[in-house]
Amino acid sequence: MKSRTTTGAGLIGVLAGVTALTGLATATTAQAATGCAVTYTTNDWPGGFTAAITIQNLGSAINGWTLGFTFPDSGQKVDTGWSATFSQSGQNVTATNVDYNAAIATGGSVSIGFNGSWSGSNPTPASFTLNGVTCTGSTITSSPTPSPTPTLSPSASPTPTLSPSASPSPTRSPSPSPTPSPTSGKPTVAADGTGTYRTVQAAIDAVASGNSSRKVITIKPGTYREIVTIPANKPYITLQGLGSSPGDVVIVDNHYAGGNGGTFNSATAFVNGHDSALTNLTISNDYVEDGTTVNQQAVALNLNADRAVLSNVRLLGDQDTFLINDSARTYVKSSYIEGTVDFIFGGGTAVLNDCDIYEKRSSGAPITAARTDAAKTYGFLVYRSRITGAAGNTTQLGRPWGPSAQVLYRESSLSSTIKTSQPWTDMSGNSWKNARFFEYKNTGAGATVNSNRPQMSDSQASNYTPQKYLAGSDGWNPIG
């Protein structure tokens, strides 16, 4: 594996002829005079590479940008990109902003990147332009440095803490202790080239369609910035992180509804094959709400798979983190889910057992937005879990995306982040009072009982167990 990092301001071409050493990164730093500075980092392997680009604006503030550069070799090609719209004509490449990163203040920067392929050779582009202005600079230094260690988790998702007005933290951390996983042997996926594949999607693509037995894809610790899809014709796939905690393996992207075809198309991971499993890893959408852009929904996991099991995972996002579609039944065990608005939502059936659910916005919002069909008895069950948030008395348990929404919080710890007088609210003309919203034997500062908090009776609760939520017509019981 060849790893190369070039940092500069249009003088990158001075080092274009330098051959990167295997296992080393070549760093070039230039003090830019005007216009822009560019950092271009590549991880290379035979026939392919990933490029991460940081653009720093050193001129006047801009709102709308295009970065241009030329591949030195005719065999170099952009395949798929992120955080920008890439186009290529011959050896000339342009990357144009998407809505959420169009503005760059003076001294500000944006990060974009792409996966590419090459034949012949893969030299570094010689220069870059920002809105037609060549990035220029002077004072070049170069020294070999070790290849960077992959980032283990997105910086946008710190470990949650409660505000002074909130109730004490749960006795266990939001990221539960992982089930032991294999740490020896060659992983299926490793970004550094020590596995069979460098991307999670490449490993999924290699699984034969219509497989009838479990396929375990092991993933070496690191950050995998990509959009991952387990297609409907590939059931029984397990994605298993090999780290000591779910934060060690992070699958992340930053699509959002307004720039990528709506909420359902904004996800980092699309899990469609039945009997899929995710364990000991993180799925994140690190798009950051700016408070002004419409359609800011940004899904981390879009789940269509029936009989899916998530164990010891983290699902990180802002609005609409975890989508459970109508066709899905899922069992989520000992996991962590965070977001801002409606961040557990959809028309499917889900049991969240022994999970930590965190409302990270200080102004609060509804946690769930169920759209359960009236013909379905079961929607979402939050069971023996812990609900916390960034501020006290701000967060609602949910609202009805559909008129027959069904949600039960059962035997869970509700911190003072919950709005005790009104924990349910209306949505899109659907009254929470007509929805099937209940609580049963919850505890904590946020678990008071009043006329706005329907409580299940013991006799009702006997029919609303995790096993009954998930059984369906086939008797599925992942709980054991």
The one-letter amino acid code at 106 reads T
Q: Which two tokens stand for residue 71?
A: 């591949």
Q: Which two tokens stand for residue 430?
A: 């659907």
Rounded CA separation 123/125 (Å): 7
Rounded CA separation 221/198 (Å): 12
Cβ atoms of 242 and 249 closer than 8 Å = yes
Helix (H, G, I), strand (E, B) or coil at 427: strand
> Pick the catalytic residue: 320, 354, 426, 458?
320
Rounded CA separation 26/248 (Å): 26
Place of tokens 């011959």: 90
Active site (annotated) includes residue 342: yes
Active site (annotated) includes residue 248: no
> Pick the catalytic residue: 44, 306, 342, 356?
342
Pure H helices in 232-349? none
Q: How far is residue 32 from each of residues 35, 38, 68, 439, measured CA to CA in Å?
A: 8, 9, 17, 60
Cβ atoms of 475 and 461 closer than 8 Å = no
Q: Which two tokens stand for residue 158?
A: 């710190």
- Please give the full DSSP string across 316-329, using - where no structure is assigned: E-SSS-EEE-TT-E
Give Cβ neighbours of residue 388 (< 8 Å, ≥ 6 apart).
160, 162, 166, 167, 169, 170, 174, 356, 357, 358, 359, 415, 417
Catalytic residue ranges: 320, 342
